[in-house]
Every structure is written in C-alpha cells, then in structure tokens.
Structure 1
Amino acid sequence: MSEPNRSLEKSLANLQRTIEERTAKEGKPTEAEKPAHKTADIIQLPLWPEVTRGTPNSFLRGALFAAIQGKEREYFKGKILATRDGIKIRFTGMQLDQSDLDVWEQAAELARSHPLGNVCHFTIHGFLKALGRQTGKSQHEWLKDVLRRLMSSGVEITHGRYTYGGSLLEFIHDETAETYALRLNPTILGMYKAGWTAVDWDIRQKLRRKPLALWLHGYLSGDVENYDTKIETLHRLSGSKTKELWKFKQNLKNALADIEMATDGQIKATIEEDMVSFERLRTSTQTRHITKKSRKKALPK
C-alpha cells in the first residue's frame, strides 16, 4: 500500500474511533429526549386557503356556538345541544357564542402548520389583529376570557362514526413575555375526517357582532345543497334565546339581508310563511359534489 493510502486509512480509523468514543460518552438518548413525533406519526389538520378558516361541520350544524349575545350565556352541565341529524353534542361549561367560534377558528389556523399535539406560540396583540379587533387592554382581557372558556368547556361530539371528547383547546400563558403556547388535541382530527368546511373569513369579518347572521353563514357554508328549511328548525339549531317565533322570524329576515349584502348576492333567501328557501351560487367543486351524490342515488341497487 502506498504511503498516501496508509495515511488516509489511518485518518479514517482515527475519525471512526473519535465518533465511537463520543457516542459512548454521551450515551443514547432517553425516551424523554427522543422526538415527540416520528415522521409516520405526524398528524396535521387539512390545508385550507388562507382566506378561509377550516371548521368541522359539527361546529356549524347546531348550537355548539350559538347565535346569542354574550350576556345571554348559560352554564350547561352535560346538556345535549340541538344539532342536525347524524351529529350528537353533549356539552358542559359556559355556553359558547359566535365570537368564541372566531377565536377557535383562528386557533385552528395557527395550529394547522404544526403537528397536532405540538404547541404553537402567539401574542395576544397579534391574535387580536388577526381577528380584525382593536388591541387595547379591554380587548386583551376579552380574548383571555374566551381562551379560558374554550379551555374549560367539556364536549363530547359524535359525528357519524367519529367521536371526540375533551376540551376545545389548551394553552400556557407566559405573563412576563405576554405570549401564549396553544395546543389542539390530536383526536380533534376525527371531527375533520367526519366533514369540514372552509369558511370565508372576510365574510365573517363583515358580519361581526351579528350573531344570527354569523351562525346562518356558517350553517349554509357547511352544506352545499339548498334545502328548504322550517323557521322553527333554524330557531332550534341556532340556540337562539328569542322565545317568540314571530320575533325570531323578523330577526331571521334581517340576518339573511345582512348575509346577502356581505356575500354580494351569492347567498339569497326567501321566507314564505314558516319556510325559508335558499338560493346560492355554487362553486365548480360544490357542483361536482352534488352531481356525484345524485348519480350515486340514481344507481340501481
């Protein structure tokens, strides 16, 4: 063997010995030191367009986030909430409203770029800006209250074959840095597998402080077919506190007018006696979905 080759071989042997000694000295990583997620175990939310907020249909098709004012909240203990067929929600905690849904949707927006179960960091100021809200002290306190309400809520949601049980989110607050670490339970993914909707965020911003219009927009966004619906059914599913149906009907007319304006006529509705008929301009994706469903129904059994 030539002199240069012997020198190279000796250098490689020394390098290998150094690596082995360092590995033996430092030891293998403990279970606690190993990465929390193997590549195969990474669970992430679906990717939706940034101008929307991905929301489970079970959140939109019933009274989990009710069409109420904050002052109308009640405390529920294991209450079965009104929902569409195929969904069952049992709820414990302070009643949630549409502003709480705004916060949850923004939390999901932050979480979608992280594996579920991992934390994502944010500041109260930045979160409020993303919601299109003011950033003063009162708004800081408002957001903290909403986060506490979502954290302390206990839900058991069954949608089809999927069931989720737990709180709606978890967080850690660093008082000094004024930052939050947010976490969504990985099993919330089941609610997305059961069906979810990309809700137009700009339209929700236009409808802010109009609880019934916000609820109706979410309800209609989560269903691509134009079903005629009884006013009484919408009253029940929305969780409205308006006791008289005639008064709710008037509120409904106003809410639908707000939606038509906010959507530039993309969603229209007609109320005749006790029924509401909806007319919506569908996207090409929605049209394909309905056509596919119709063909399946038409196939001979």
Structure 2
Amino acid sequence: MSEPNRSLEKSLANLQRTIEERTAKEGKPTEAEKHAHKTADIIQLPLWPEVTRGTPNSFLRGALFAAIQGKEREYFKGKMLATREGIKIRYTGMQLDQSDLDVWEQAAELARAHPLGNVCHFTIHGFLKALGRNTGNKDHEWLKDVLRRLTASCVEVTHDRYTYGGSLLEFVHDEEKKTYILSLNPKILSMYKAGWTAIDWDIRQKLRRKPLALWLHGYLSSDAENYDTKIETIHRLSGSKTKELWKFKQNLKNALTDIEAATDGQIKATIEGDIVSFERFCTSTQARHIAKKSRKKALPKTPK
C-alpha cells in the first residue's frame, strides 16, 4: 500500500522544508534528520484513520506477538516462529505478547505524524494515557520494560519478497525533560509494502488483558475473507502456551465470545468438531478487495 509518486514527492518536499527551517533556527540538522533525509524514500507510513492502528500483516499472522500472559515469556535464540504461509519470522530475545504490540502500534501512530516519518516524542505519562492504561509508578516501569524488550529483540521477518532484520525500535531518554524520543528503523517500514491492516483501536481497548481474543481479532482483521480454520492451526499460530488442545478449545470459545461482545456482533464464530467457522461484516475496504479478487478470477485466462 505504498503512496503514489505525487504524494511521495510532496512528502519529500515537506521533509526538506522542515530540515531547512530547523537548520535556520538551530544550525545543523541532527544526525537522525540527515539519516531520515537520505532514506526518505522508504520512510513513508501509510495513511490510516485515527481510530485505528496500522500494523504489518506479518505482525498479525503468526506468533511474533503471541497470545500469552507476561509471566509465560521465554527467551528465544534464533527461533523460527509459527506463521502463515508466505511469512517467515526468526526471533532472538524475550518473547513478545499482545501488550508489546499495543506499544509498537502506538509508536507507529505517533511516528506517522512526525515530519521525519519514523520518530516520535512523548512523555511516559502521555503514552500510557494513549494506551488507556493507568499512569502510576508501576505503569511507568511497565512501559519502560516494554521499550527495553522491543529494543533488545532481533527480528528477521520475510514476507513475500521483503525481508527485515533488526530491532523493532530504538529510544533516547531525556532525564531532565522527562521525555522519550523513540524511532522505528526506516527499513522495517518495508513490511507495510508487503501488506498491512488498520486495526480497530477501540476494540483492542475492550479486549485488553485477554491475549487470545486480542491475537485472534488482529489475525481475523488481516484477512478480507472468512476462512474455516482448524483449532490446531489457531493454537500453533497464536503461540499459545496451553499444551492440551481440549483446554485450548475452551479458551478459544471464551475468546470468541469476548470478540463477539466487543464488536457488537460484527464478528461471530461457530465451532464444529476441530473446525472454527467465522462470520463477520466486511469493512468497505475489505469488500472492495474481495470484489477485485472475484473480478480477477472471472477473467478468462490468456492462452499460452
């Protein structure tokens, strides 16, 4: 979903003007600005509505951000994670969960509004409020731990022809001003070119602290069509730590009930045996995508 050339040229012009204005006021542009200017052709986050959070499909269709509780984390060293066909993820670092995904999504939301496209400035207090969380000392420490975890990780993601290898973000903390400057590696934004989804932020807020429901909502949102899916497949892709499949099936039923309530019935599911069938109303964008695929299938094949 890359921007048209005209939009890209406009963004580059705005970036150049921003650097020139800052240079006139402060002297030389910062190293981050110089680097961003050099790589501006790949630092363009897609446009998504403010009530959503744009997330690469590779983050949603596997166990990178697993459906686990924080206490269940493991340390992985070059582990191949479960993913959908067409995606490969090798991961080193402390295992990530759905609350880590919340933080990454909020960072991307703030970064897309910044002139450089991959940097955001914030206070811990303000960031926590944006996440809908409490703002006490315990919550401040929680967010700092998430930032360390996302920074310390090494992710190798391959989706179609695009591959990224590196950390998920970097940050600088200004002790005096009590602010953070957080940056996403410009190269990781290539993952958006392989496909991304606008996740409904209000629904994620309703599903907080329900990791399997959160994971499943993101997984379903990344597809325009409904697919019958084996319970075993959902268990594997979600990274669940529940060993017994019968017990996971019970957890899945509860998660589906939570999703139906959070979406006001927009997403429903039935389980028959070991198969889950989904029923949901498509967004206008998803409906256009399905119609486009149908038209392509209907076109007669060109004889060789």
TM-score w.r.t. the length of structure 2 is: 0.86
Distance (whole Å) between structure 2 residues aligned to residue 106 and residue 208 of structure 1:
14
SS in 2 for 1:223: coil
Deviates more, 1:236-245 or 1:283-292: 283-292
CA contact (8 A) 1:116 1:184 kept: no
Shift of 1:224: 1.1
Shift of 1:35: 6.1
Q: Where does structure 2 lack aligned partners over 5 or more consecutive residues?
A: 1-26
1:183–1:39 Cα change, 3 Å: closer
Aligned to 1:15: none
1:242–1:35 Cα change, 3 Å: closer
Matched length: 273
Instruction: For 1:1-301, list aligned pairs within 5 A.
Output: 36=34, 38=37, 41=40, 43-114=43-114, 119-301=119-301
SS in 2 for 1:212: helix
Shift of 1:110: 0.7
CA contact (8 A) 1:56 1:192 kept: yes
Which structure has the larger Rg over C-alpha atoms?
1
SS in 1 for 2:250: helix
Q: Where does structure 1 lack aligned partners over 5 or more consecutive residues?
A: 1-28
1:34–1:146 Cα change, 3 Å: closer
Shift of 1:175: 2.0
Distance (whole Å) between structure 2 residues aligned to residue 84 and residue 129 of structure 1:
33
Q: Percent identity?
A: 83
CA contact (8 A) 1:260 1:268 kept: yes
Distance (whole Å) between structure 2 residues aligned to residue 40 and residue 176 of structure 1:
31
Distance (whole Å) between structure 2 residues aligned to residue 152 and residue 40 of structure 1:
23
1:107 corresponds to which letter in structure 2? A
Q: Deviations over 1:209-242 (max 9, x none)?
A: 0000000000001111100000000000000000
Distance (whole Å) between structure 2 residues aligned to residue 101 and residue 207 of structure 1:
13
Distance (whole Å) between structure 1 residues aligned to residue 55 and residue 192 of structure 2:
8
CA contact (8 A) 2:164 2:188 kept: yes
CA contact (8 A) 1:117 1:185 kept: no
SS in 2 for 1:165: strand
1:269–1:35 Cα change, 3 Å: closer
Distance (whole Å) between structure 2 residues aligned to residue 90 and residue 159 of structure 1:
12
CA contact (8 A) 2:67 2:215 kept: yes
Distance (whole Å) between structure 1 residues aligned to residue 76 and residue 84 of structure 2:
20
SS in 2 for 1:93: strand
1:206 corresponds to which letter in structure 2? K
Distance (whole Å) between structure 1 residues aligned to residue 228 and residue 39 of structure 2:
45
